[in-house]
Amino acid sequence: MSKSHTRGFWNALVRPPAWHLREYLRNPHYRALHRFTSRLAGLPSGTSAQVTMGGLKIEVCDGASFLSSWDEIFVNRTYQIPRVVGRRPVLVDAGANIGLAALYWKLHYGDFIYLGFEPDPRVAACCRRNLESWGVGGRLLELALTSCEGKNSFLPDGADGGRLTGEGVGPLEVEAGRLSQWLPDQVDLLKIDIEGAEAEVLHDIAPRLSSIGSLFVEWHQRPRQRDLGEFIGMLEDAGFECHVQTARGASTPFLGDWPHGTFTQYLNIFAVRP
């Protein structure tokens, strides 16, 4: 998940006080973010905790990543789509983490069909408890999505950045599989946040893109990776219009001023049916 957004708490610190007050008064999710921040901000990384929203419990695996995700999902409404009429909408959540996308949909759309994927056993267990607490039906599979099936090494980070590392490299061995084997016939929103395997998964489901109404991808760019244009081209060839927002990246990329970590930039890609 990205660490700064267009409308949330952290940006409000440098906004005019009137804007900050207006948002606080009119937006219950923004008020909740303040409450959660006072509860979680001082916790060590990877510490489990619990918060409540409207009397419903939310189990948290890591305070900082939860606050960032709440800002993105509940305050910024990243996964909000037009209402579906006449049937239950379908959310496919590739990289479910603790299930916040599903909880947002439950709050705003009521009954829907859910299919989630989360390979980290600790995080998946937390997600299941949140889904049960909020009455979200459907399935959550402990599966890392990639272009092939079988065992794969996985590096957890105790939060939302766990990723596949290749055979024998990570401390955990998880099941890996192909999204095309599980994708429903009709999907209203496909969310993909899988820490670097986005291109592999899109190639895998390319023949099925016509069945997807809206698609969100958090793109993780590695050093010397040169397939972003091809990725967006595949989406446009499938009839999507792509809107790209920078989530995190270098302020001076010509100087190679990359963010610390595995990836050089993070992009939010919204694929919309015009």
Domains identified in the chain and CATH numbers: 79-272 (3.40.50.150)
Please answer whether residues 67 and 10 qualify as being in contact, where contact means their C-beta atoms are separated by less than 8 angstroms: no
Q: Encode pLDDT of 180-207 as tens digits.
A: 999 999 999 999 999 888 999 999 999 9
Measured between its terminal Cα atoms, the distance across the chain in Å is: 26
Lowest mean pLDDT among 40-44, 54-58, 200-204: 40-44
Q: Which position has the token pair 């999902």?
A: 73
CB count, 10 Å around CB of 256?
Answer: 9
Q: Encode pLDDT of 15-27 as tens digits.
A: 677 777 888 889 9
Mean pLDDT of 92-99: 96
In which element (H, E) is residue 22 found? helix 17-26
Mean pLDDT of 166-180: 79
Confidence grade of residue 234 (pLDDT, cut at 50, 70, 90): very high
Confidence grade of residue 254 (pLDDT, cut at 50, 70, 90): confident
Q: Encode pLDDT of 68-84 as tens digits.
A: 999 999 999 999 999 99
Does the pLDDT at position 5 exceed 60? no
